[in-house]
């Protein structure tokens, strides 16, 4: 019974990671439209790419755990993955929100990067939201990385 619970926890984590990586890819594509983006957007793209890399690394580690899982370690694995599962789900919730906030913005409809940046800021409830967005990307990467470190100890 415990082995089934641990296996479902791992499968849940993998599913949520898949959704997050897909959303992050959409965000990367959104920001790729702006080759002459100011420093802040370029930094944000790098942070998004870093979060995507972290999630893909977590996916690899969890898949290794899934392959190596045995009945004796299932309760330990279930307990160890709880924090990681929570962090991945929180990240996925934010990624969905970020994708929704940027979905309707198409900078090619109006000319000029300044117009795009103004629309992006407006969509994210002003400059403070844009800064919070960048900060949240970094926080998710750190939280997931910390949870993964605890899992692999």
Q: What gap in Å lies between CA 12 and CA 23, rounded to an integer?
A: 17
Q: What gap in Å lies between CA 1 and CA 51, rounded to an integer?
A: 34
Geometric angle at alpha carbon 99, from 80 and 19, rounded to 5° = 35
The answer to whether the beta carbons of residues 33 and 119 sit under 8 Å apart is no
pLDDT at 70: 57
Geometric angle at alpha carbon 121, from 116 and 127, rounded to 5° = 140
pLDDT at 50: 92
pLDDT at 52: 93
Q: What gap in Å lies between CA 150 and CA 128, rounded to an integer?
A: 32
pLDDT at 91: 92
pLDDT at 71: 46
**Count H helices, E strands: the chain?**
5, 0
Residue ranges of the domains in the chain? 2-152
pLDDT at 126: 47
- From first to last of its 153 residues, what are the pLDDT tens digits of the chain? 566 666 677 888 888 898 999 889 888 877 776 555 566 777 888 898 999 999 999 888 888 877 776 545 566 666 668 888 889 999 999 998 888 777 666 555 555 566 666 666 555 544 566 677 788 889 989 998 888 887 765
């Amino acid at each position: 019974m415990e082995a089934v619970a641990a296996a479902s926890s791992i499968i849940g984590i993998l599913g949520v990671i898949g959704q997050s990586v897909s959303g992050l890819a959409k965000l990367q594509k959104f920001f790729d439209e702006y080759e002459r983006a100011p420093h802040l957007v370029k930094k944000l793209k790098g942070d998004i790419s870093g979060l995507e890399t972290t999630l893909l690394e977590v996916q690899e580690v969890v898949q290794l755990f899934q392959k190596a899982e045995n009945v004796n370690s299932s309760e330990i694995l279930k307990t160890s993955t709880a924090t990681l599962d929570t962090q991945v789900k929180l990240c996925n919730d934010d990624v969905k929100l970020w994708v929704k906030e940027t979905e309707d913005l198409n900078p090619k409809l109006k000319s000029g990067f300044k117009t795009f940046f103004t629309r992006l800021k407006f969509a994210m409830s002003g400059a403070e939201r844009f800064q919070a967005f960048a900060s949240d990307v970094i926080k998710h990467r750190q939280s997931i990385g910390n949870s993964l470190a605890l899992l692999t100890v």
